[in-house]
Amino acid sequence: MAATALLHDQVIVNLTEDLLAEGTADLRWQLHDLVLAGSRQIIVDVSAVDRVSSTAVAALLTAHRACRARGGGVVIRRPSRRTLDLLHHTGLHRILEVEENP
């Protein structure tokens, strides 16, 4: 997972099919490490993946809760139609900020 720091408390994470193939435990720990490093806002660019699994969404929600405790959150950037549909069907678009075209 490549993370690009915008500010000391804001990062962009580029989610890839390779990272998802490695398992969501890696994703969960990498997001956790970003929060521990002081990130309050994690922007997750999902444009390189066709669909985000439910376990990946759970990892994003865990990171979102940790960021919210610090006054930030997780932003889902450039979701595919399938990912956007998943977020809407589950109501997660009300919890996680979604940027379709930043």
- CATH at residue 65: 3.30.750.24
Under 8 Å between Cβ of 49 and 18? no
Domain that holds residue 72: 2-99
Cβ atoms within 10 Å, residue 28: 17
pLDDT tens digit string along 45-94?
999 998 888 888 999 999 999 999 999 999 999 999 999 999 999 999 99
Mean pLDDT of the residues in the chain: 88
Which of the residue ranges 15-19, 34-38, 52-56 has the most confident prediction, judged by mean pLDDT? 34-38
User: For residue 15, how many C-alpha atoms fall within 13 Å in the half-sphere facing its CB?
Assistant: 30
Under 8 Å between Cβ of 53 and 20? yes
At 4, the pLDDT band (50, 70, 90 cuts) reads: low
| Count of structural domains within the chain | 1
The reported pTM is 0.87
